[in-house]
Structure 1
Amino acid sequence: MAGAWRGRMLRAPDGQTTRPTSDRLRQALFDMLAHAPWAGHGVLDGARVLDAFAGTGALGLEALSRGAAEAVFMERDRAALATLSANIAACRAEQRARILRCDVTAPQRAPAPCDVMFLDPPYARGLVEAGLAALDKTGWLRDGTLVVAEVASGDVLAIDAERLAERQHGAGRLVIWRHGASRPAGSLTGL
């Protein structure tokens, strides 16, 4: 990790059910957010963050480490939940972190919309689109929420928004956009 918890190592559950975001990809993502003209160093300062399909919680914890005020973690896998709880405790982030044991495609109503959302579901299942639809319907998104999705390099992502950035990293690809920001006429429908 970087930020306030620089050098902290996170645990990952045994088995193949959870695919943690690699340290290299996480570093590339947060460097991109810090230096992009559409985000910048202050993008996480005081932000409310949602880490959907949280797994180990690496993305939400990194956001907390870099200045986010609070993070909500959604996960349903029992082994991942145990690891997530241990990682939050190891970072002493219990006061700023909340775990929801739920399916992202059927979440509870949000107490307030989030400023930044990370979606890192299992690849090739269409869960980014299904998760976004459910999260939007239950109030987790607002116009302007910065959405970061990790998908497989060959996955087609059907979103109706202008992409702010898209970066290939090994088997994964990061796609970033603002919720509610429509795609300009004539742009691509899916990548």
Structure 2
Amino acid sequence: MTQKLLRLDASSRTDGSVSRALADQVVEKLEFTEVVHRDLAADIPQLNAEWLNANGTPEQDRGMDEKAALALSDTLIAEVKSADTVLISTPIYNFGVPSSLKAWFDQIARAGITFEYTADGPRGLLKGKRAILVVASGGTEVDSPIDFATPWLRHVMNFIGIEDVQVVRSDKLMVDADASMQRAVNDIAALAA
């Protein structure tokens, strides 16, 4: 069976990044048939007024400028839609996700495309996919009261319809690096193909 992976790396560090190195291990273990890789730290802009105006314009009324403003967003959404698994590797920066990862989600969270509003609240439209979150931190424990990254990532994945979310933790690296890496090794070993 073809398994397509979308890999998103959010660490600003390319050399020496624990989250990127662990994501490499996940990719190697699960042996996807196709991997699309996007370095979020390198190429994801923040939303601006042009983007917001274009997104708020009905599709049939969008001119060339509006279409150009949404072109990257359309590409990012197509990448998620075509993937079976979304692998997000991220550090925890100051208790949350890097701004590049937030910017990526802002680009893909579009009403009527990746989610919709219903009488019962929002409903994700990207069903049947899996997300693997590789989370590294120096001092923040994953899912502790001061971790605003991991719960947020689970929530936004659920918001767009991805309900199968697994976490690989390498937290509190500056407290006990060996124990932190062992947690990650155990979590990777528990991942099913």
Of structures 1 and 2, the larger Rg is shown by 2
RCO comparison, higher one (Cα < 8 Å, 6+): 2
Question: What TM-score do the two structures reach when normalised by structure 1?
Answer: 0.38
Structure with a larger share of its residues in helix: 2
Give the structure-2-normalised TM-score.
0.37
